[in-house]
Amino acid sequence: EMETNQTLIDTLELSNIGSGLINYTLEIEQHNSWIELGSESGNLFTGETDEIEITFNTNNLSNGEYSCNIIITDDIRNETIIPVTLTVTGTEADPDLIPEFTELTGNYPNPFNPQTIISFGLNRSSKVTLDIYNIKGQKVRTLVNGNKQAGYHKIIWDGKDNFRNKVGSGIYFYKMTTDDYNNIRKMILLK
């Protein structure tokens, strides 16, 4: 379940519990703007596991239920179908809910473990980047890199880097940039 104008990143684990190499492909049965796969193919040796990033995006979705199937096919044509249902709740886009100015409003909870929600408002549609940096200034995760509608947005950071590895405890910075705005804020991950 998600509110409108929100992005959530989740993972799907694929494991090879058989013997030998398995090549696989993933696809979404019908094109849906609200779900995106981080990878569409790969291979697994015996005992290996892959984490596939799945991004759910409720921008421009009305309240209600949305569903699709993720189809996983291996090289011997075995097919696994995973039904996915997304329930959208909350306030729909409304001119009264567009902020007067663009602002990175903060994250909650802070300190956090294992995840936090980063909130921002856009006074007009804009290309947005939202990146996470460690205390050394190294980018560890890109949460947003694309166009967003005017309005309020919430992005969940799950405490993982771009390679889906959990990051260590400590101070992190999140930086939001648009065409005419940029700001950096601090957050603390506790384990």
d(CA 75, CA 94): 47
3-state secondary structure of 26: strand
Q: What are the structural domains, with CATH classification, of the chain?
A: 2-89 (2.60.40.10), 95-189 (2.60.40.4070)
Check: CB of residue 53 under 8 Å from CB of residue 156.
Answer: no
Residues 142 and 155: their CA atoms lie apart, in Å, by: 11
69 pairs with which residues across the strands?
83
Element (H, E) at 186: strand 182-189
Residues paired with 27 in a beta bridge:
71
* Alpha-carbon span 71 to 29, nearest angstrom: 7
| Residue bearing tokens 């990878």 | 39
Residue position matching structure tokens 């096919």: 73
Instruction: Name the DSSP letter for residue 15.
Output: E
Q: How much is the pLDDT for 96?
A: 61
Partners of 117 in beta bridges: 108, 156
Of the chain, the percentage scoring pLDDT greater than 90 comes to 49
34-52 pLDDT tens trace: 999 988 999 999 999 998 9
Q: And the tokens for 111? A: 């300190």
Give the pLDDT confidence score for residue 91 in this predicted structure. Answer: 52
pLDDT tens column, 48-82: 999 899 999 888 777 778 888 999 998 877 889 89
Q: For 178-185, what is the mean pLDDT?
A: 96
Residue pLDDT, tens place only, 158-180: 999 998 899 999 999 999 999 99
Q: What pLDDT is recorded for position 176?
A: 97
Strands (DSSP E) along 75-137, which ranges?
79-89, 103-108, 116-122, 126-134
pTM above 0.85, yes or no: no
The string of pLDDT tens digits covering residues 127-152 is 999 999 999 999 999 999 988 888 88
